[in-house]
Structure 1
């Protein structure tokens, strides 16, 4: 996923972007690349895959990087993909939509989950169908989709204060085999964990490391500063896991750990602990 370091640009010009591969399970940024304002992220995503060991992983992305070349690169690295589909791929988007309209219950698996929070009651439902429901022309373009899965993720929210109901449907394609025993659960987890890069990485970097306030014009400084921020956050995540393992309780917040590590002695002790582990 790509995001802008907002203060790295004058108001009238496009900012610099960082393309990041993030391991949502372990909370680690696996790689990053600086993208210039006149460059296209799409051309870089597939090339970054070549330097990563992704065998057995499920790689997710937003609709911008739902590209045939990217999907092919992932399959070649023995990874599976779960890619968001929007109307920038009109034929694919409408073909998936129609597949769920014309579906038969025997070919559909569903998993539903209700969540409470943020003043809302959210019902999340994942419906999956075999990729073979799509036209032959589309299956020819997307490697791995003929035996894979198409996904409809529906989120219905009820505002607990006003009672207002809203609903949103999102669509995905995945190379995960439709006949896997727990395919609906796999897809639900992949779709949900995709937002980890936003909630667990970008948001934390902006709020706790003030990354959005970084003011610079030097591309090397920007790239190195962001890399160091991610490295530090990765260390803090490991400290949180160690604390939870030792105490059996929820770990201190990132902000509280950062405050403690302001002391050079405490920081060196924490680093030594992690190295010895």
Structure 2
């Protein structure tokens, strides 16, 4: 299993010489996937800090499509820098099976071409909107400020933790609230939804209150029975790519310390890390299913799989299921 592959002297040889696309084709994620209704797939780039050279502000970026339900990276691409996400996200859609998924992304990837590509693949989108799309941003704001609008659907949830009381409110309106000129640009939005999330946080120690509003566009049909809950889930699950993938890769796989000049090696080593993490996620799900208890942590499973025998046994158990 690839937990111990990095110790093999052949890995640098092959990883440096095989192109990223060919290396990716050698790894299969389909057997690791559970079939969920409306899987949420998050899209985001991650910098490998130690790959930074010269006057670069950050290292090379890897753009990833991440299945937040299964904990599996569906695809990745070396993009050079953060801004290149704009041009590559739409092109990556073509090679992925996203039918029935809700694809989420930050404001950088809220692009008409990306939204169109997702609709063509029979996926839905839920994309963050900030002032990089000023007209869209302000028109969404105005829609939620309209006191004559009676179609607003809202849900609210209170969470306790980390010394704070957080109240999360999700408000949704039909996309048709927006001007026709905008609806023509964003395919699927005419029957879709615009979203406002408001997070109010109260510090239990100091009593200090902070509030933050965020806005989104979605192709999810506003007439769906539980549209507010659907949008809330999509927005919440998007953070899985940061918390469950990027953070784990940096902390447990020391990915941000990966120093290299060879682009193929960087891309392929990151791919191995994600494939290994995907296997561990599958082991965790199986363990929870079999024992009814919370699975061991990623770190504990990685420690056990340092043994080639244990790793092969685990891999065999996954193949045979």
TM-score, reference length from structure 2 = 0.83
1:199-231 residue CA offsets vs partner (Å, 9 max, x unmatched) = 110000001001011111110000000000000
Q: CA shift at 1:96, angstroms?
A: 0.2
Q: CA shift at 1:116, angstroms?
A: 1.1
Q: CA shift at 1:10, angstroms?
A: 4.0
Does the aligned pair in 1 maintain the 2:201–2:211 contact within 8 Å? yes
| Cα distance in 2 for residues equivalent to 1:237 and 1:11 | 37
| Cα distance in 2 for residues equivalent to 1:100 and 1:136 | 17
Q: How many residues align?
A: 274
- Greater relative CO, 1 or 2 (CA 8 Å, sep 6+): 2
1:161-194 residue CA offsets vs partner (Å, 9 max, x unmatched) = 1111100000000000001000000000000001
Over aligned residues, Cα RMSD in angstroms?
1.3
16-25 vs 98-107, greater mean Cα deviation: 98-107
- Alignment match, 2:50: 7
Among candidates 231, 244, 252, match of residue 275 of structure 2: 231
Does the aligned pair in 1 maintain the 2:64–2:75 contact within 8 Å? yes
After superposition, the Cα gap between the structure-2 partners of 1:12 and 1:180, relative to the gap in structure 1 and judged at 3 Å, is closer
TM-score, reference length from structure 1 = 0.96
| Cα distance in 2 for residues equivalent to 1:103 and 1:259 | 58
Find the residue that maps to 2:69 and give its secondary structure.
coil
Q: CA shift at 1:38, angstroms?
A: 9.1
| Cα distance in 2 for residues equivalent to 1:142 and 1:90 | 15
After superposition, the Cα gap between the structure-2 partners of 1:12 and 1:67, relative to the gap in structure 1 and judged at 3 Å, is closer
- Alignment match, 1:196: 240
| Cα distance in 2 for residues equivalent to 1:52 and 1:159 | 43
After superposition, the Cα gap between the structure-2 partners of 1:103 and 1:198, relative to the gap in structure 1 and judged at 3 Å, is farther
| Cα distance in 2 for residues equivalent to 1:146 and 1:13 | 40
Q: CA shift at 1:105, angstroms?
A: 5.9
Among candidates 190, 201, 222, match of residue 157 of structure 1: 201
Q: CA shift at 1:55, angstroms?
A: 0.9
- Alignment gaps of 5+ in structure 1: none
| Cα distance in 2 for residues equivalent to 1:12 and 1:5 | 12
Q: CA shift at 1:14, angstroms?
A: 4.4
| Cα distance in 1 for residues equivalent to 2:255 and 2:121 | 32
